[in-house]
Structure 1
């Protein structure tokens, strides 16, 4: 999709939401008599398409995480199988050598007759001990050979299964990639019908809608009026996120040149030394919940009922986020999107005794804030 149309997509959806809230359902930029879609109809279609794209993206990200783990498992099994085959080769060589030695020393006389006929029976007894030790070593070699064959066979079966699973995940991932691009292509076609005048008006409405949402949230007292310091890791994760401001959103991306929203949060905390789940839904499900009035910089703020968007809390009622396709990483009001809750990647770590917030780059707060359920 072209960058221009993606930027149009970013602008159109939120503003259409505001128009729909203030316009009767049967109203729009046209009366519909000439076949032009009403604003309400455009809004319905855009929200549906973005929800579908969001779900496909979240599924894609989860599959990507599974595929990464599966590739590592397949590689581990391949290495173990190679070692088992090398050990099996050594065992077979040793067994062959023993077989040749046994054949060359074969005699029709039993060890008992050897003892009776020996000129020095005590020396024969000593030789018997040696022969016994050799026999035990031969038995151990045979056991190693048998065990090595079983281990190699089992590893070969597991390696084949791991490879089959990897191929199935890769195929699934490709289908999901096609689905996301298909959803975004549908958005492109729909937005191509909007005029320049509509887009200009929608940009202003979008900014006004974000401002009103933030004012209402801050007036509610949901955030504590007492500033809190981050942990050392939280501070590092936040600084990493701020350093990415201005880079583009790209679905499925984990940096360093572009990110989606959960790609930004997971990479920021990875840079701080803490591994967290890749997707916003898993971050919400698996990390420790924290009340909004206990938020500290570096915590993750999760949005929408299905936990399909996430940002890093900056402090003072603001977050750092990768909003949606066509937008760039930026600083946004915390309530620009509907808040589901917050989670903390390092719940047991103590806050820093002193803290200086990171310096924001120029124009860090420019651009659209709404995530529109894009992950």
Structure 2
């Protein structure tokens, strides 16, 4: 990370001039704070930025779904209007027929005065059929009118929701940018010695108090995981997901991105599993909430490691105690130790798939 930190520090002065949403000003770094404290503060800022990114991503998913719903309703409304025009044309035709065949005599008198009563009866049967057809057409027309009105109201509500989500997404985008600016301000205030020390400490993993979460038990025992080389074999889909994720190493982190040129953390994991043939939720929080949990001492390549109590970061386990991840703004997709951040737990997208035969 040292190169990343140095690059961010050099560009922070320029980035700070960008027009961003207001954010609480980051306190100037205290030169007397320990390197561990600086790293903890940086991780907190990154975590806040990633939380804002995950919220943005979730809204983006909802917005795409709403856009599809608006398009569906617009198409259905267009078809309903076409059917309504056809029904009105039919109703007009029948009205003209009724007018042209109208008479001052009742059907009873027409039958009495007819030269051929049987012909009159047959003609009356046809008239009755026309009357029933008229009634059916009027009924269909009324139903079509109601259906069109219902669709118009639903399309209006869907459009209003889409516009609301668009505005919500804009505010969340500004929040992400503001939090990233806070990271840049903190980095810009560090001395070269502090930058180097923070980078070296990060390579060793999370600071002591953050390395483990509170829940005890073997599922929290990272030493019992694949770090000792006793990984479970992956499924065929898991192997394809891992291969895809590893092929992205070196590509930049970008919030909200799902490739192919850049990724955020959950964009990488969701796209890798999509490429493998299994669709999973878009955000790290949804991945944690919706995918089956697995103990950390039973990991296999392809499993997703979720970090921090709020499930704001995710990486893909590749075996031997390593994960591939899109770590943070300013960094690139890379391999990292599984325990480089505080682990919340693991989930398995392909829990129903058998391990691939060796």
Shorter-chain-normalised TM-score: which range? 0.7 to 0.9
- C-alpha distance in structure 2 between counterparts of 1:198 and 1:327, whole Å: 18
Alignment of 1:132-281 (within 5 A): 132-209=128-205, 220-223=223-226, 226-281=230-285
Q: C-alpha displacement at 1:30, in angstroms?
A: 4.0
Q: 1:296 corresponds to which residue?
A: 300
- C-alpha distance in structure 2 between counterparts of 1:314 and 1:44, whole Å: 26
- C-alpha distance in structure 1 between counterparts of 2:296 and 2:40, whole Å: 31
Task: Map Cα deviations across residues 13-49 of structure 1 (whole Å, 9 max, x no partner).
Answer: xxxxxxxxxxxxxxx9745xxxxx7767755754543
- The 1:48/1:204 distance shift into structure 2, 3 A limit, reads closer
- TM normalised by structure 1 equals 0.81
Q: 1:310 corresponds to which residue?
A: 314
- The 1:52/1:208 distance shift into structure 2, 3 A limit, reads closer
Q: 1:120 corresponds to which residue?
A: 116
- Residue 80 of structure 2 is aligned to residue 84 of structure 1: yes
Q: 2:340 corresponds to which residue?
A: 336
What secondary structure, in the 3-state scheme, does the structure 2 residue paired with 1:220 have?
A: helix
Task: Map Cα deviations across residues 50-86 of structure 1 (whole Å, 9 max, x no partner).
Answer: 3432221121111111111111111100010000001
Q: 2:288 corresponds to which residue?
A: 284
Is the Cα–Cα contact under 8 Å of residues 319 and 331 in structure 1 kept in the other structure?
Answer: yes
- C-alpha distance in structure 1 between counterparts of 2:273 and 2:37, whole Å: 41
Q: C-alpha displacement at 1:266, in angstroms?
A: 0.7
- The 1:5/1:47 distance shift into structure 2, 3 A limit, reads closer
Q: Which of the numbers 323, 340, 346 marks the counterpart of 2:350?
A: 346
Is the Cα–Cα contact under 8 Å of residues 5 and 192 in structure 1 kept in the other structure?
Answer: no
- The 1:315/1:61 distance shift into structure 2, 3 A limit, reads same
- C-alpha distance in structure 1 between counterparts of 2:123 and 2:273, whole Å: 69
Between 1:127-136 and 1:167-176, the stretch displaced more is: 127-136
Is the Cα–Cα contact under 8 Å of residues 316 and 325 in structure 2 kept in the other structure?
Answer: yes
- The 1:339/1:71 distance shift into structure 2, 3 A limit, reads same
Alignment of 1:351-366 (within 5 A): 351-354=355-358
Task: Map Cα deviations across residues 293-345 of structure 1 (whole Å, 9 max, x no partner).
Answer: 22111111111111111111111211111111111111111111111111111
Query: Aligned Cα RMSD in Å?
Result: 2.5
- C-alpha distance in structure 1 between counterparts of 2:346 and 2:269, whole Å: 13
Q: Which of the numbers 69, 74, 91 marks the counterpart of 1:73?
A: 69
Task: Map Cα deviations across residues 242-286 of structure 1 (whole Å, 9 max, x no partner).
Answer: 111111011111111100010011111111222111110110001
Structure 1: 5+ residue stretches without partners: 10-27, 32-36, 355-375
Structure 2: 5+ residue stretches without partners: 10-28, 213-219
